[in-house]
């Protein structure tokens, strides 16, 4: 999604819903739905800011944004559920399994082996249930 793909007059929320569907598909919808009973306003913030504002900006394509996101979540080492969603998103926007694995391995240099090991475990789980026949 780039600025050229934004619809004139589209609200942040509408733009965010569209971006989320394009990037995360059903996994993103599941995250939003899971917030409905506890924090529906937070679900709106999630749609408006990260997806409606940041992911929709020009300058980086979705593939590059997911590379950065996978790297950051791996380095955090504390965000496995979000990392799994974004690994799936990376696959959705054109990253190969090999590229995802390399991104996570690269984080061993900056975030340590435990963070990279946890990231690789998340990737294994996603690869097993999403795109199981993809080789790389």
Give φ, ψ of 77 to 5 degrees.
70, 0
Q: How far apart are CA 71 and CA 86, in angstroms?
A: 10
Position 14 scores a pLDDT of 95
For the stretch 45-73, pLDDT in tens is 999 999 999 999 999 999 999 999 999 99
Position 2 scores a pLDDT of 43
* 8 A C-beta contact, residue 52 and residue 19: yes
Q: How far apart are CA 17 and CA 105, in angstroms?
A: 31
For the stretch 84-99, pLDDT in tens is 999 999 999 999 999 9
Position 27 scores a pLDDT of 84
pTM over 0.75: yes
Q: For the chain, which domains are there?
A: 1-59 (no CATH), 61-136 (1.20.1290.10)
């Amino acid at each position: 999604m780039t600025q050229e793909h934004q619809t004139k007059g589209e609200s942040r929320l509408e733009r965010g819903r569209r971006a989320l569907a394009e990037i995360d598909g059903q996994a993103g919808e599941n995250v939003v739905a899971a917030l409905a009973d506890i924090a529906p306003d937070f679900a709106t913030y999630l749609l408006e800011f990260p997806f409606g504002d940041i992911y929709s900006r020009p300058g980086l394509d979705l593939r590059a944004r997911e590379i950065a996101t996978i790297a950051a979540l791996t380095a955090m080492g504390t965000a496995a559920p979000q990392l799994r969603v974004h690994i799936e998103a990376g696959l959705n926007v054109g990253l190969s399994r090999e590229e995802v694995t390399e991104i996570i391995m690269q984080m061993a240099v900056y975030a340590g082996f435990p963070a990279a090991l946890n990231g690789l475990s998340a990737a294994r789980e996603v690869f097993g249930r999403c795109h199981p026949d993809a080789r790389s």
